[in-house]
A and B are shown apart, each in its own frame.
Chain A
Amino acid sequence: MSPIEDPAIRSYFFGKGYTDLRAVIADVWRRNVASARQEVEKVKSLWPKSYPAKGMAILRGAAAASVLTFGTVFFLAGSIIHVALLFTFFLLVYLGFSLVYLTEQAYLTIKGFRPVCPKCHSKNPLAEYFCPGCGNIHRRLIPSSYGILHRICRCGTKLPATFYLNRGALPARCPNPDCQHMLTGLIEIRKIFVPVFGGPAVGKSAFLLAGLREFAQRWAPSVGFEVAFSEGVTAGVMQGGWDNLAHGLLPAKTTADLPRAYNIQVGRPGQAGRLLYLYDPAGETFGETEGLGLHKYQDYLSGLIFLIDPFTLDSVQREYADRLPSVEAGLKPSQMPTEDAFARIMIGLEEQFGLAKGARLKFPVAVVVNKIDAFDLEQRLGEPAVQARLQSSTQPVDLDALRSQVVRDQLVQWGRGDLVHQLEVRCAKVRFFACSSLGHIPDNSHRAFEGRGVLEPLLWTLGTADSVFATERSKRPS
């Protein structure tokens, strides 16, 4: 039985049945005694009369004796049958809801359908659901003594008590008492958690905005997926960010210590699909490992996108030293060494999220070199470099692997062999990408920012984390 009292009607066999049983036993006994007394009174009044009256008196006397004897036997037998029926149904209901609850819990755990708060990042076994009829909170809306598949709220509204009956579509809130954030959309579907990590000013916000625009407006429709923002806040932030990029305005600097997840529901029409949780933490977070402990979503990551600003690398700075000062204000090279950012991510995962020392990350890690629109970086890291490599190759090659190889080799050439080695040693699934989140160096022209190469890292990460996206990844938008 649930220790938490919910505002619902408990199953008859778990509460009221026993109150009723007591009342029935008392009432039957009272009625039998009254009936016997009534018959005895009749006997007293009939006996002194005529012979037929005497016969009736004998009959009523027999009835009185019968009420007392049969009544007692019948009352005992009836009570035993009543108790047996109550216990039988009690056991059946108990078995029923235990079975449904256990199968549901196993299914939710295996499939990763647990509700996750996009605000406080707590992953919970269950959300707190609101009754759509009266707004009362049901803290344990599970198969229980309140009902196996459904329960009746005290207001009379019938609520689904299990995931199988689309409980996740009910309005709900985060069960964390310090948060209680309203959870919107379908909260009991498969989720994918992908943060964009990297030092300050590597272009995380721009990458996420540009990548999601490509994802939502071009890729998803081309493969028949529907994209919906579960929260109005996410929709507002995304639309505002996209409008700014279209007008050549940079995304606002991320300042929040703890990022709120961008919730995006993706799926085919009429299907539950997937719920994406994308995180854009402030780059300053990676200045110390302690702060990363607050980012609880690292406990259940599905993938990770690690952004590198090439102008953080001293070799690149030296290479473009003559031209860099003229565009430095627009480029805003990140001040945090890439190795430091990556090391702090790994230390944070080891110290606070249970990653064993030296163990590999099992989820996919996309390493993305950003800002390749500057100077001739696109020639060296982008499609021209890939095509040149392809033409010089005599063997048939996997184009995606070749793209990764080009970026990897360039990082090594820039003297970041140690970083590449670290990435390949610590990450079981790693791939290198190159992109330009904005498409051109920011200036005062207010030309629209159009990201290039931003979709591929996102799709690869999602596709490696979830086969649904892997199947559809090959269908690139034209």
Chain B
Amino acid sequence: MTDNHNTRSRGALSQIFLSILSGRFGCAGTAVALVLFMVVVVMIIKAMVVIVKIGALVGLGITVRNYALALYHNVKREKVTP
């Protein structure tokens, strides 16, 4: 079911692209459609970059947390035995 859905998703983008190139929108329409398609693709790429950046920040946060936890658990005063 999921595989079918993915196949369909990938196919949808390809079909839109192929439809634009088929010439059914006329010359001007094809040009406008191509531009719009490119804008959408760029926006998707930009969104992905933002997501990657957020991911990198999350990773950095995890790293800082790991270092702080390591310090907290390992740096301790020597105990005295009264």
- Residues on A facing B (Cβ under 8 Å): 9-10, 12, 16, 20, 23-24, 27-28, 31-32, 35, 39, 48-49, 51, 55, 58-71, 74-75, 78, 133-134, 152-156
B51 touches A155 (CB 8 A): no
Residues of chain B lying within 8 A (CB to CB) of residue A10: 78
- With A20-B76, A35-B66 known to touch, is A155 a contact of B81 (CB < 8 Å)? yes
The answer to whether A74 touches B64, judged by C-beta atoms less than 8 angstroms apart, is yes
Say how far A15's CB is from chain B's closest CB, in angstroms.
8
Report the 4 A-B pairs with minimum CB-CB distance, sorted nearest first. Answer: A66-B59, A62-B55, A31-B66, A156-B80
Query: A367 CB to closest chain B CB, in angstroms?
Result: 58
Q: Across the interface, do B70 and A66 meet the contact criterion of CB distance under 8 Å?
A: no
With A24-B75, A59-B54 known as contacts, the answer to whether A31 contacts B70 (CB < 8 A) is yes
**Docked complex Cα distance between A16 and B78 (Å):** 8
* Residues in B1-22 with C-beta less than 8 Å from chain A: 2-3, 6, 9
Report chain A residues within 8 Å CB of B77: 12
Separation of A152 and B79 alpha carbons in the complex (Å): 11
Q: Which applies to chain A's interface (DSSP): helix, strand, loop or mixed? A: helix
Interface pair A67/B78, CB less than 8 Å apart? no
Contact B78 A9 (CB under 8 A): yes
Contact of B80 (CB < 8 Å), options: A9, A12, A48, A69: A9
Contacts of A134 in B (CB 8 A): 82
Q: Can you list 5 A-B contacts with CB-CB less than 8 angstroms, sorted by A residue number?
A: A9-B80, A12-B78, A24-B67, A28-B66, A156-B82
Chain A residues, Cβ within 8 Å of B74: 20, 23-24, 27
Q: How far is the CA of A153 from the CA of B80 in the complex (A)?
A: 8
User: Closest CB-CB distance, A72 to chain B, in whole Å?
Assistant: 9
Known: A16-B78, A23-B74, A74-B63. Is A65-B56 also a contact (CB below 8 A)? yes
> Smallest CB-CB separation from B56: which chain A residue?
A66
- By beta carbon, the residue of chain B nearest A153 is B80
Question: For residue B9, which residues in chain A have a CB less than 8 angstroms away from its CB?
Answer: 51
The residues in B between 39 and 82 inclusive whose CB is less than 8 angstroms from any CB of A are 47-48, 51-60, 62-64, 66-67, 69-71, 73-78, 80-82
A32 adjacent to B56 (CB under 8 Å): no
Beyond contacts A20-B75, A62-B53, A71-B62: 19 other A-B pairs, Cβ-Cβ < 8 A, are A9-B80, A24-B67, A24-B70, A24-B74, A27-B73, A39-B62, A55-B48, A55-B51, A58-B51, A62-B54, A62-B55, A63-B56, A66-B55, A70-B60, A71-B63, A75-B63, A78-B67, A154-B80, A156-B81
